[in-house]
Structure 1
């Protein structure tokens, strides 16, 4: 049989294999050319990330494209292909959520019933745990506590044994009050499916979810089974690739215990778009963010992350576990799904999916303008909130959030009074952050979607703002509102309007400046960007690119270039917490502790919840350790504790770093301090177990 010209196999030296399902249409010639150019970007990115193999693809309407890059098995030089079989990890969760909602539609499960209705052996807790709250990670169920045990099971576990792992954990919060992402909650949902149907989880999924969508390569991960095209998993120790540790993921069965291919992931996304598995009402419920009792969005619906990005309506889910990293993006109103899977642990697969989105749609994933004046940074925050919430609402429903002019006017009045005429900049920023939540009246959604609807009515193409961004969106609305009859269109504060017109004009001059494809040197890069951005009010934020280049330089041992890039970041973006934090982290890696802490303090002052927050520095320390810089990671944790002395988790992480270095006494002290600060912090039980193990080792 002769293959169509758009299907091709290239020998492993070119590091890719293109394959697509026979019934899918081919990309048109223009898209095919862009996809060919995408190959070069992927090869460069994979080399930088030290990725062995990856498969990525999309489906839009009747067009489907899937391609493998690199190797599914390095040792035997087996290429990654469209049919390579990867662990799905947490991309399993939206599939489990679909199964639960099917059973709700059939009357076999009640979303608001206590979980013990279906899993009677699960211990009753001080507060009722409902199926609905489990779906949204709002049930108070904790995640892993003793990581050294719970994330390294070698033996197969039954459903009952999987529940036993965590069934006596205390709740971390009253259900409904706190979002806590946890695979254990989704294990309980798997048990609900089994007890409500009398079938095994895998059996039900094959008959009612995977099978109806033709997902023939999707199955429970079984280390003993012979599975066609199974990839071998890898991790990085420093810059050296190692075979992944074997972990039996049956303990995560309905939360992350499956294996599949990218075409099957795409089939699942298409099945969601086409309504093949659930009613429209259930689909809407699944894709709507849940809300805490305090009225805050969790940005997670039922099995899907729901945060609007770049002003577009998108749902997604990532997956990370030994042997794999996955991501599934769904754009329901566009009938577009993008899926990616890699056999390298902890790699940023989202970056590949985002780039493919740009190739397929011609839209920027997310524009990030940097505003160079502190007193105008608040305006950028407001513009982004209005754009993200407003344009996404129009893309999702085609209509503004409310048709009541009085409610819309009230939203504008609140923005004007509490953000734009507020003397306290921190209070204004907090108002804007809260204004997207129900407790804040959904002010940004109300005003932003009204703006989008009025622009569309006036003939503006809302799609254009993907490539011009929030500043252009707000600027165009201001121009439109100023030309409208008095009282007919809600207006912003005049000072804000004037500032936004100036910012918009500056953005028109700088937005087209692109990050160079092949920066030849830091000096040349500095000259190019500083010249382009000199005396401008706003210009593109290339912090992600600078950070990536700096981390790559640091990873290969070029600390001089890494620090030079960090200094460039601070020179271009002095008001950015990310720039100051990058400088601080790289100074710590270079051994300059005092300068590092000073830079981190600046970052913390820029944004207390940003790149120098306790969580961000904790994650940065783990990245240093993963790159082989355990000592630098330890020093960074010690600095983080100076900045955040009362955060138990930092002391806990420091304890784990000390354990890895054989410093038992220091490890015990760190864990004990974590427990003194918070005896019930999420890792408390694990800390007690480690302390007992270390004390018994003497």
Structure 2
């Protein structure tokens, strides 16, 4: 090859690389994640520094009619509904209409004594001792309710699982009670409170799957194939699991929280402080501590995050916020899907939004390995190896495919979604200085190392090291 031709080809490659915009990277990740998980439809959005920065849509909202996911498609939020109930209570607290440390029985005298003694603070932080779903709840979801207070009938005869304040015990029923308390304190139906005070003007409201053309259909996996999910009415717990939203609306609502527009800044910061148990210790599980309706955490760089995820029939969802990122108010990311699938969805939302957030400093460079044909490495110290191929797409984005060794397949193919026979790599920063390894259980964090190897974090908690070779 002549020197002028080599220089021209190099310049062409650099030009192609520059065309890979942050938005195109995010959309490529969303598409690849949906395909890997076998989920019919997904939607995501990023709000940043005061405005909606990006919104992405992938797949179908209705498989039978082949209708695509669109900007106005609403998805079930499942437990990502919980921060809305917490925000309603926090608004009432700030207005002096509700004392979060006063028993809810003063507002709801029909409660049995044990639950009447619980406080909003205990309920919001899952410190109340309230049970989560039980065997008796198999038939719940067959009736439509018009007020949160109507659902208190489902709490009759239930016993607390632990002494109030003694330990973290996740409970959606606790949020059924929390929403009823907000409704009583506001003297306003919960859905009216939501639309007028908590999320006014946004495409956020009750789940109306099967009742509204704006809603995505709901799916579940049967034999690793998505099938229409049985009908379910979540009005028994609007506070805990019963809302729906578009991805752009959910991300914008997160932005409003960051800006102090849902609750004032002082109340917001109070919500985002750890709640303490009776022994004075913060409570939570996995990596997060529990605030007032929000999970308090950090990302892969140790930057502060707050979030809440959800999983139920026909839904997997998350809202993830970076309060201190950016010059004008932080970043809010939503990720919604219309099937319940096994996923590390908080990490997936973090990586999906990475192209639109500040780059990670000090990463080792890794050019797109166009000549790579194989890899070897270790999964928790055990050897893995397979074939590899990489290319640049029309946008200049570096993409790769790795065959799936048996040891790694056992980790990333837990079901119920379809099993994969390969993994996809999509560049996030530079070419492959940072990338996303796309698996059936979501996105994992690929980072180039100074010695030429790759460290992958977020594969179901496993340690994965890889080396590419020609």
Fold-level similarity (TM above 0.5): yes
The answer on whether the counterparts of 1:55 and 1:262 sit within 8 Å (CA) in structure 2 is yes
Question: In the alignment, is residue 54 of structure 1 matched against residue 42 of structure 2?
Answer: yes
Match of 2:198 in 1: 209
1:41 to 29, 35, 54: 29
CA distance in 2, matches of 1:556, 1:113: 43
1:341 aligned onto 2:370 = no
Whether contact under 8 Å (1:357, 1:363) holds in the other structure is no
Contact 1:57 1:67 in 2 (8 A): yes
Correspondence for 1:361: 357
Counterpart of 1:142 in structure 2 is: 131
Match of 2:311 in 1: 320
The structural deviation recorded for 1:63 is 4.7
Matched, 1:296 2:281: yes
1:525 and 2:359 correspond: no
Q: 1:146-161 maps to which residues of 2 (within 5 A)?
A: 146=135, 149=138, 152-157=140-145, 159-161=148-150
Distance in structure 2 (CA, Å) of the matches to 1:31 and 1:331: 27
- Structure 2 residue corresponding to 1:81, chosen from 70, 73, 80: 70
Higher strand share: 2
In the TM superposition, what whole-angstrom CA distance separates every residue of 1:9-61 from its partner, at most 9, and x where no partner exists? xxxxxxxxxxxxxxxxxxxx979713213333333322221111100110111
Q: What SS does the corresponding residue of 2:310 show, helix, strand or coil?
A: strand
Structure with bigger helix share is: 1
Aligned-pair distance for 1:91?
Answer: 1.4
- Please state whether the residue corresponding to 2:238 is helix, strand or coil: helix
The answer on 1:173 being equivalent to 2:190 is: no
Partner Cα separation in structure 2 for residue 611 and residue 362 of structure 1 = 25
Where does residue 305 of structure 1 map in the other structure? Answer: 295
- Which of the pair has more CA radius of gyration? 1
Q: CA deviation at 1:294?
A: 2.3
1:197 paired to 2:192: no
Instruction: Tell whether 2:320 aligns with 1:329.
Output: yes
Could you tell me which residue of structure 2 aligns to residue 95 of structure 1? Answer: 84
Deviations 1:353-382 (A, max 9, x none): 122232112546xxxxxxxxxxxxxxxxxx
Contact 2:30 2:42 in 1 (8 A): no
Distance across 2 between alignment mates of 1:92 and 1:518? 47
Deviation at 1:228, TM superposition (A): 4.0
Q: Secondary structure at the match of 1:314?
A: strand
Contact persistence 1:246–1:322 (CA under 8 A)? no
Partner of 1:177, secondary structure, is coil
State the structure with bigger RCO (CA 8 A, min sep 6), 1 or 2: 2
Query: Contact 2:132/2:171 (CA < 8 Å) preserved in 1?
Result: yes
Question: Match of 2:319, SS?
Answer: strand
Could you tell me how far 1:72 is from its partner in structure 2?
Answer: 0.8
CA apart distance, 1:196: 1.3
CA positional deviation for 1:351: 4.4
1:551 Cα deviation after fit: 4.3
User: 2: distance between equivalents of 1:149 and 1:341?
Assistant: 25
Hey, what does 1:131 align to over in structure 2? 120
What is the correspondence of 1:428-443 to structure 2 with a 5 Å cutoff? none
Shift of 1:155: 1.9
Query: Does structure 2 conserve the Cα–Cα contact (< 8 Å) formed by 1:262 and 1:341?
Result: yes
Cα 1:125–1:531, aligned 2, differ >3 Å: closer, same or farther? Answer: closer
- Deviation per CA, 1:505-539, whole angstroms, max 9, x where unpaired? xxxxxx76899899966xx434999999xxxxxxx
User: Structure 1 residues 554, 161: closer, same or farther in 2, change over 3 A?
Assistant: closer
Query: Does the residue aligned with 1:164 lie in a helix, a strand or coil?
Result: helix
1:275 aligns with 2:260: yes
Cα deviations by residue, 1:327-367 (Å, 9 ceiling, x for unpaired): 00011112100001101113423343122232112546xxx
Distance of 1:87 and 1:95 partners within structure 2: 14
Report the CA distance shift for 1:224/1:236 in structure 2 as closer, same or farther (over 3 A). Answer: closer
TM-score, scaled relative to structure 2: 0.71
* Contact 2:41 2:59 (8 Å CA) reproduced: yes
1:164 pairs with 136, 153, 156, which one? 153
1:409-438 deviation per Cα after TM superposition (whole angstroms, max 9, x unaligned): xxxxxxxxxxxxxxxxxxxxxxxxxxxxxx
Alpha carbons of structure 1 residues 307 and 548: separation in structure 2 relative to 1, 3 Å: farther
Aligned to 1:184: 173
The one-character-per-residue Cα deviations of 1:572-617 (angstroms, maximum 9, x if unpaired) are xxxxxxxxxxxxxxxxxxxxxxxxxxxxxxxxxxxxxx989xxxxx
Distance 1:519 1:40, change over 3 A: farther
Question: In structure 1, how many angstroms separate the alpha carbons of the residues matched to 2:282 and 2:314?
Answer: 32
Contact 1:194–1:201 (Cα < 8 Å) also in 2: yes
Q: 1:228 to 1:552 in 2, by over 3 A?
A: same
Residue pair 1:48, 1:552 contacting (<8 A) in 2 also: no
Residues of 1 paired with 2:38 and 2:323: CA distance?
33
In the superposition, relative to structure 1, how do residues 199 and 53 fare at CA in structure 2: closer, same or farther (>3 Å)? same
The secondary structure found in structure 2 opposite 1:125 is helix
Q: Alignment length, in residue pairs?
A: 377
What SS does structure 2 have at the residue aligned with 1:82?
coil
In structure 1, the residue matched to 2:207 is 221
**Cα 1:156–1:231 shift into 2, 3 Å:** same
Distance 1:546 1:515 in 2: 26
Q: Which runs of 5+ in 1 are unaligned?
A: 1-28, 365-463, 469-510, 533-543, 563-609, 613-698
* Structure 1 residues 556 and 280: alpha-carbon distance in aligned structure 2, compared to 1, 3 A threshold: closer
1:251, 1:519 → 2: CA distance?
54
Mapped pair 1:114 → 2:114 = no
On the 8 A contact 1:88/1:326 being kept in 2, the answer is yes
- Against the structure 1 CA distance between its residues 341 and 235, is the aligned structure 2 distance closer, same or farther, given a 3 Å change threshold? same
Distance in 1 (alpha carbons) for counterparts of 2:336 and 2:178? 25
Q: What are the residue-to-residue correspondences of 1:467-546 with 2, within 5 Å?
A: 524-526=375-377
Aligned partner of 1:660 in structure 2 is: none
Q: Measure, in 2, the Cα distance between the counterparts of 1:514 and 1:296.
A: 47
- Give the match for residue 477 of structure 1: none
